[in-house]
Amino acid sequence: MNNRGAVVQAKSALTWWVYLLVTVWLAVSLAWSVYARFDYGYGFWYQKQAIAQHIATYAPQHPYKSGFALLSAEQHIAAFRQIAASVHNHGEGLEQIQYQVSGQAPVALLDQAEVEHLQDVARLLDWGRAAFYLLCPLWLLLIFMLRNDPLPGWRLRMAAMFGSLLPLVAALGVMGPKELFYRLHVMIFPSDHQWFFYWEESLMSTLMKAPYLFGGIAMVLACVAVVFTLLLYFSGLYAAQHFLRR
């Protein structure tokens, strides 16, 4: 192989690898958006993870707020839906979310530290949404760039895919999902903002049975993201090879 051929192969391999990473990001974003429309399956996880019993155990221990455990399952699910809707709306309205026990005055569901944390989460989602819209034209450009370039060999593609996943797999193997979840919070959120909440001191954390609910949500997101990744990946390559060739 001459130097020009080697350069073409290296360029093609790099373009394909970036295409793969962008495809995965878009797929995860789409999976997140779809699952969010179904409130992350909270009604299902509420039953599956016995969240009603969890609330009954820990909500009465809250030092300042009472009565949350007396609400029905539908009211708990509605409370989660309100939180999710506010987080996906730039964190607006979090302070106004209330619950009310029959015969008692309404009570704010979230305290200031919880509102602050959820606003941090909302900002992350906003950044992720912005990245999605920025990467969409890049994805199309990469498809156009791949239209006449030979794809890397399947061994190189498999090595690149597994190599990209290796840091995550290694982190999960060394730390476990729970510790990795906490480490990511330390890395992502501002150091002066509270992100860890004890169940007996936080109705938000109790309602979400954190972090166990997030583990279930992550499994569903991963499965849906794999489906979207395959659809986007092969549809993009099909377009490059059948419609965009010179």
5-19, 35-49, 118-132, 227-241 — which is least confidently predicted? Answer: 5-19
- Residue 160 neighbours by CB under 8 Å, 6+ apart: 13, 16, 17, 20, 152
Name the band, by pLDDT with cuts 50, 70 and 90, for residue 13: confident
Per the prediction, the chain carries an average pLDDT of 89
pTM summary value: 0.87
What residue ranges in 47-197 does DSSP mark as E strands? 98-99, 107-108
What is the residue extent of each domain of the chain?
3-242
Instruction: Count CB-CB contacts under 10 A for residue 1.
Output: 7
| pLDDT beyond 60 at 73 | yes
Each residue's pLDDT tens digit, 159-183: 767 776 777 677 777 777 778 778 8
Q: What is the pLDDT of residue 94?
A: 97
What b/e sequence results for 62-87 when a residue is b if at least 16 CB atoms lie within 10 Å of its CB, and e otherwise? beebebbbebeeeebbbbbebbbebb
Q: Report the pLDDT averaged over residues 143-158.
A: 75
